[in-house]
Amino acid sequence: MQIWQYTEDKESYILVKLYKEDHGEGNFLGNLDDESIKKIILNIKPDININQAFGTLTYFGLLPILVIK
């Protein structure tokens, strides 16, 4: 699956958006397999429900992840 990542780093939070299509923002991470994508998601937020998060990305094509500092 082709993945793009956009990161917004603010004083109180970090917002990371993973996309399946190019939306004009973010960096292209490459054509990754499912396990590589899951590792990226878990590196961003280790306590996330990985099956739900990956399912959201797969179905909707977008996964926003908010990490409070």
pLDDT digit string, tens, across residues 21-45: 998 889 999 999 999 999 999 999 9
d(CA 13, CA 15): 7
Per-residue H/E/C for 14-53: EEEEEECCCCCCCEEEEECCHHHHHHHHHHHCCCCCHHHH
Q: Is 50 exposed, middle or buried (0-12, 13-18, 19+ CB in 10 A)?
A: middle
pLDDT digit string, tens, across residues 58-68: 999 999 999 99
CA atoms within 13 A on the CB side of 51: 0
pTM: 0.92
